[in-house]
Amino acid sequence: MTWRPITLTELQPMQTIRVNGRLAMRIHELRPLGAGVVQVTTDLGETISLTAADQLLRLDKGLTAPEDQGEAREADPAAALPRS
């Protein structure tokens, strides 16, 4: 699992994000407020407003891009072995 940068327009419900290096939170609901502002309600019921100035990272739990597969093989050589 790694943290990857994400923009406001890429946010989706059920993603786990980190905002400005603070604790991680899971998105429950998103509401665009216009002018580059998105209101996020977390799974714990907290509501925060995010802007393009916020540093956003999403938790990447799996392999989603081809370049990530190479990283996984380097980290775990057994993953590259053929399965029978």
- Residue 82 belongs to some domain of the structure: no
Tokens standing for residue 76:
């775990």
Instruction: State the pTM of this model.
Output: 0.67
pLDDT in tens, 37-66: 999 999 999 999 999 999 999 999 875 554
Which H or E element spans position 70? helix 66-75
Q: Which domain holds residue 49?
A: 2-77
Residue 32's pLDDT band, with cuts at 50, 70 and 90, is very high
> How deeply is 57 buried, as exposed, middle or buried, from its count of CB atoms within 10 A (0-12, 13-18, 19+)?
middle
| Separation in Å, CA 77 to CA 15, 42, 71, 84 | 29, 37, 10, 16
User: Which residue's structure tokens are 């540093």?
Assistant: 55
Q: How far apart are CA 47 and CA 49, in angstroms?
A: 7
Number of domains in the chain: 1
